[in-house]
Amino acid sequence: MESEEEVAGLRDVLARGGVAAVPTETFYALAADPASEKGVSRVFEIKGRDDGKPLSVLVSSRDDLARLGVEAAPGLLDRLFDIWPAPLTVVLPLRAPIAASRGARTLAVRVPALKTVRRLLALTGPLTGTSANRSGRPPISDPDEVARELGADLDLLVDGGTTPGGAPSTIVDATLDPPRMLRAGAYAWTDRPK
């Protein structure tokens, strides 16, 4: 997704409430505008998952967090951005719920370690980042498999080649003091911001 036309096409898909599959540093993710009720609902339909569970969101910068309404202490964000980009998803407080938070005043966010995805996010803005798979099935790292499993339901597949796979991102709840690990994963949670 290098050309202006391709990026414009992705933006158009997202603006219409569409869903794309994008590569991350672990697996492919289902990407929609996290503020779009239509896009977020479609992600749940594609996954075949209960619509009440919040979705994680991929961001490229601290400014993206502000645009989403994240209200975390500046010191905490400084420490997180010393770690990011990394396969580390962090639950942070929100000023107000957005579509991806499904009514919660918290949001799980990550700055992906994959540079090409961060470049894409810099052009599109934040995107949902739940794994591209049907609920109960393993996450997918091969774009051809994404196309076979989900292609008919997707508006766009951003083919970034086969992703590394492995463990999913580590999830940490930073609304607690001290932050608490919710899921062990690809990032070794030894840095514990206070």
For the segment 43-64, the average pLDDT, to the nearest whole number, is 93
pLDDT band of residue 81 (cuts 50, 70, 90) is very high
- Tell me, what's the pLDDT at 52? 78
Is the pLDDT reported for residue 193 higher than 60? no
pLDDT of residue 5: 80
Is there a contact between 19 and 42 (Cβ–Cβ < 8 Å)?
Answer: yes
Please state the rounded mean pLDDT for residues 98-116.
Answer: 95
* Residue 68 binned pLDDT confidence (cut-offs 50, 70, 90): very high
Pick from 107, 8, 113, 128: nearest CA to 58: 128
**pTM for the predicted model, two decimal places:** 0.92
Model pLDDT for residues 2-39, shown as the tens digit of each residue: 578 878 888 999 999 999 999 998 899 999 999 999 99
Most confident of 25-29, 93-97, 159-163: 93-97
Distance in angstroms (rounded) separating the CA atoms of residues 151 and 155: 8
For residue 103, what pLDDT is reported?
A: 95
13, 20 in Cβ contact below 8 A?
yes
Q: How far apart are CA 182 and CA 120, in angstroms?
A: 28
Report cis status (omega within 30 of 0) of the bond before 85: yes
Render 19-70 in DSSP notation, one character per residue. Answer: -EEEE-SSSEEEE--TT-HHHHHHHHHHHT--TTS---EE-SSHHHHHHHTB
Amino acid 153: pLDDT: 96
Q: What is the mean pLDDT of residues 60-64?
A: 96
What structural domains and CATH numbers belong to the chain?
A: 4-183 (3.90.870.10)
Q: What is the mean pLDDT of the chain?
A: 92
CA 107/CA 33 separation, integer angstroms:
14
Q: How far is CA 62 from CA 78, 111, 165, in A?
A: 9, 9, 26
Under the banding of pLDDT at 50, 70 and 90, the label for residue 1 is: low
